[in-house]
Structure 1
Amino acid sequence: MLLTDGGEPLGAAAPAARWTVEQVLALAPDDASRKAGNKLGSAGPWSDTGGDGSGAVWGLCRGSGSRPYRTVIDPTGPAYRCSCPSRKFPCKHALGLLLLLASDGSDLPAGDPPDWAGEWLADRRARAQVKEEPSGGGPADPEAARRRAERRAERIGGGARELEQRLTDLLRGGLAAAEQSGYGLWEETAARMVDAQAPGLAGRVRELGAIPASGPGWPVRLLEECALLHLLDTAWLGIDRLPPPLAATVRTRVGLTAPAAGPPVRDHWLVLAQYDTPEAKIVTRRIWLYGRDSGRIALLLSFGAAGRSPAQALPVGATLDAEVTPYPGSGQLRAELGRQFGLPVPAGPPPGVTVTGAITAYGVALRDDPWLDSWPVTLRDVIPVPSADGWQLTDAEGDAALPVAAAALSRPALWKLVALSGGGPVTVFGECGHRGFDPLAAWASGRGGEGAASADPSSRVRPDAAETVPLI
């Protein structure tokens, strides 16, 4: 069952928080799903729709078959179920039903769910309740688990020593030879790291293979990445001498997984951004959260098979009263979402820092994790302006600027940010690193987070409803 702030059952008459259209569209796995969901966001294709006091909604949607598709949504999570054959998550029918709720809730009369929806909702909430109960058990055989961990550590150590030898051979032969050897040598080395059960090392080796002949200055970039890989190798080989937080970071970097640890942190978590990244045979989803009371930043990671979106999805721009449990590591950014209390509600932007403050924050984070590519920050009162190499975000006073990362220059959302700014200051959340600043979400400044309008005229977002503007 759903819970209120105090942890008591949410009464049937309690009002459900309405999602904005922008939040719903941010859940779409791709542009095609977003467009298809938009077409189903009106009452025409739907029948037998309804909702209950907990915020759950359901309905039947006409499709190409003789039977309509059954769609039901639980806002906690959120979670979706649809009888359509789509492999996308959420499917266009789930998006359409949520858009129907966001645009005009009167089309979803209150009532009890039909059997097909009620059974799924009851089963989901029962499983959530069981998950919250402590298991009270540990590993079946701690000694066997310890021996397995020791054997894997030995294999990784062997892989790290072999990798050190290959890096030494590369430097002795000269970096220019890397351009002639081709990608096959790097792929072979990466395969050896996989055999050594060190997928983190394998991933960094594959990144090395993409650097030679990648454009002007590639030898410098190759040398920098080789130095970082050497640092990771030597850190693993001397991990017993490292402080515990840094040792946990090294284990994560080489590819060892660890469960979320420590006491859960309950807070009102603002969903800052959500985006997917294809990585080999999986899709990684990253969701950034900001705790309004604790001031903490948390990163939720979830994974899906190639071609399928990960199951976990949250409405960008909404605030969740929930618990998150951090994973071990120096930065302790990655966390696991736990129990939620109540429904998501719209919220404004988090507090921001200056451009200089963002650079300082990234530098401090590098001290604890030298392999960081970027660090999450919110910039306040910055203006996007063109530069000789692309775009940059400049302090409103003109004291400092950050270049926009090359990866963001090809996204249409950059123009969304420029239009939102209109030459004036905006608040922008993104990832600040050695490649520049990658903007992920924005808010119009000077409105206190109350009604930053979307700059996309086709997005169907009311100017008084949109707060967070996703940029990815």
Structure 2
Amino acid sequence: MAAYPTPDVVTALAPDASSLKAGRGLASPGKWTLAAGNDTALWGLMQGSGKDPYHVRVLADGSATKCSCPSRKFPCKQALGLLLIAAGQPAKLASSAPPDWVEEWLASRAEKTTKTEAKAAKAAEEAPKAPADGKAQAQRRAKRMERMAEGMGFLNQWLGDLVRQGLAEAPVTDHSFWENTARRMVDAQAPGLARRLRQARETALSDAMALDDARKNAPRLPDDLGRLHLLLTAGTRLEALDPDLRAEVEQFLGWTVAQESVLSGPGVTDRWFAAARTMEEEERVITAVTWLYGAESGHHAMWIQSAPVQQPVFTPVPIGRWLEGELAFYPGVQPLRALWKTPFPTTQAPSGGVPFETVSQVLERYAHGLAVNPWRTVIPFYLHARSAREKQGKKEWLVDGDGQALPMVPNDARRQLMRAISGGQPGLVFGLWDGYEVTPLGMESETGWVSLT
């Protein structure tokens, strides 16, 4: 019999609590037109609201899924239901030969794996060689730099006018106020600057809607604009920057780094703990971010996958599990974003805990990070802590063993889930610190790791 994932592993794979609940509702063979599997894959037919049933395909270890349903969550509830049947009632799965639509999916995945490995090998082989069209590339880069320089000059003047006018007088909560300038940055081939302008508008709206006195008395928009001005200054001095910092600044401005270039560089082989996964949709693109931690290297890593809404394809990893594989990091100061050099990392059973910091250590690491890279304003961390509410007011804090605390984002549902899991007792928590508040994304419970996203 195939070694299918355990119920705990399937639970960790769920993108959120509602998907897990819906998946459990489908974890009965009687609800399926077909539910089958072998050592390689699971497959099934589930009747949805349309005429044709959903075609569900899942790798036997749960590391990849595909379903014809319109859900934007991965794995979807059908895939989770099929995995839960395999985990709890494997004998109820039909033992037939995979149908053509399953064989085609498996063949396609095998072909992609082969191509990925060949592409990485070719990139590594050709990396030392000068590109044949180096002169043309240099000309294109120079032309783009001219356009970006014009855009940065305009934006610098725009920021100066805004400061002279005063933030209190400017229509900073109006969409068009930011969007018109953001579009000019896109036209100047500086999409990173456009993204920061749109983020500044979100900050301005949050400032305007703030309920707590601390946020009202210390709005965060000036910080965003200050970092934007600093980025513009760095963008005009690229040649004088340290190579790692220059690579970082170029990416913040909007230059992309080819995946082939990243994969051709050195990698870090380790056991990586998958702590959390978040998914967001922006401008018809779904972005999934998986946060990882290396047991031996001590490296934090951020693995990003993006795909159009119409055809989102992601390789899910089981949250709360250890993955054996090699990561290649994008260039930069204290690199964080990474790609898997290992096409499909091997999932391992839980073994050993993740080391945690104190609040003081998190703040010290954050301060050091800002000193060398002031534009990376979010860091991942692990704390052994408990949540505590203020006696007066609604603010909730994450308190470590030394009694030091960090404020948490005002997300009542997430905080209630943390209290329900921990019972008010301290435990291992994974989250993100942005200099203002903690966003908790995962925590340890008595039965295993729990995703809070």
Normalised by the length of structure 1, the TM-score is 0.83
Indicate yes or no: 2:139 matched with 1:147: yes
SS of alignment partner, residue 217 of structure 1: helix
State the distance in 2 between where 1:218 and 1:200 align: 29
The structural deviation recorded for 1:120 is: 2.2
Letter in structure 2 aligned against 1:234: T
Alignment gaps of 5+ in structure 1 = 1-12, 445-451, 454-466
SS of alignment partner, residue 252 of structure 2: helix
**Aligned position for 1:7:** none
**Aligned position for 2:243:** 244
CA RMSD in angstroms comes to 2.8
The structural deviation recorded for 1:420 is: 2.1
Indicate yes or no: 2:385 matched with 1:385: no
**Aligned position for 1:157:** 149
Relative distance call for 1:338 and 1:27 in structure 2 (3 A) is farther
State the distance in 1 between where 2:189 and 2:78 align: 41
Q: How does 1:92-131 map to 2 (within 5 A)?
A: 92-108=77-93, 112-131=97-116
Indicate yes or no: 2:369 matched with 1:365: yes
The structural deviation recorded for 1:112 is: 4.9
Answer whether contact 1:89 1:308 (CA < 8 A) is retained: no
State the distance in 2 between where 1:17 and 1:266 align: 26
Letter in structure 1 aligned against 2:166: G
State the distance in 2 between where 1:77 and 1:199 align: 36
The structural deviation recorded for 1:193 is: 0.8
The structural deviation recorded for 1:22 is: 6.0
1:328-369 deviations in whole A, cap 9, x for unaligned?
111211001232354453456411111111111211221222
The structural deviation recorded for 1:222 is: 2.6
Answer whether contact 1:59 1:70 (CA < 8 A) is retained: yes
1:163-187 deviations in whole A, cap 9, x for unaligned?
1111111122222221479442222
Indicate yes or no: 2:32 matched with 1:27: no
Q: How does 1:327-346 map to 2 (within 5 A)?
A: 327-339=330-342, 340=344, 342-346=346-350
Relative distance call for 1:93 and 1:443 in structure 2 (3 A) is same
Q: How does 1:194-209 map to 2 (within 5 A)?
A: 194-209=186-201
Letter in structure 1 aligned against 2:407: P
Indicate yes or no: 2:450 matched with 1:469: yes
The structural deviation recorded for 1:432 is: 1.3
Relative distance call for 1:440 and 1:121 in structure 2 (3 A) is same
Letter in structure 2 aligned against 1:439: P
SS of alignment partner, residue 176 of structure 1: coil
The structural deviation recorded for 1:321 is: 1.4
State the distance in 2 between where 1:354 and 1:197 align: 42
SS of alignment partner, residue 126 of structure 1: helix
1:417-446 deviations in whole A, cap 9, x for unaligned?
1122222211101101212111111014xx
Relative distance call for 1:307 and 1:122 in structure 2 (3 A) is closer
Task: Quote the sequence identity (%).
Answer: 36
Higher helix share: 2
Letter in structure 2 aligned against 1:79: A
Letter in structure 1 aligned against 2:14: L
Q: How does 1:128-139 map to 2 (within 5 A)?
A: 128-133=113-118, 134-135=121-122
**Aligned position for 1:50:** 36
**Aligned position for 2:405:** 401
**Aligned position for 1:37:** 23
Stretch deviating more after TM superposition (156-165 or 345-354)? 345-354
Normalised by the length of structure 2, the TM-score is 0.86
Stretch deviating more after TM superposition (418-427 or 137-146)? 137-146
Answer whether contact 2:12 2:319 (CA < 8 A) is retained: no
Q: How does 1:349-360 map to 2 (within 5 A)?
A: 349-360=353-364
**Aligned position for 1:423:** 424
**Aligned position for 2:56:** 71
2:44 to 56, 59, 71: 59
Stretch deviating more after TM superposition (43-52 or 254-263)? 43-52
State the distance in 1 between where 2:60 and 2:328 align: 21
Letter in structure 2 aligned against 1:422: G
Relative distance call for 1:383 and 1:118 in structure 2 (3 A) is same
Q: How does 1:83-98 map to 2 (within 5 A)?
A: 83-84=68-69, 86=71, 88-98=73-83
The structural deviation recorded for 1:38 is: 2.4
Answer whether contact 2:12 2:450 (CA < 8 A) is retained: no
Letter in structure 2 aligned against 1:129: T
Answer whether contact 2:12 2:451 (CA < 8 A) is retained: no
Stretch deviating more after TM superposition (426-435 or 84-93)? 84-93
SS of alignment partner, residue 469 of structure 1: strand
1:113-147 deviations in whole A, cap 9, x for unaligned?
34432332133113212321223557562322222
Indicate yes or no: 2:268 matched with 1:287: no
Stretch deviating more after TM superposition (112-121 or 415-424)? 112-121
1:232-268 deviations in whole A, cap 9, x for unaligned?
0000100110101111111111111113422122222
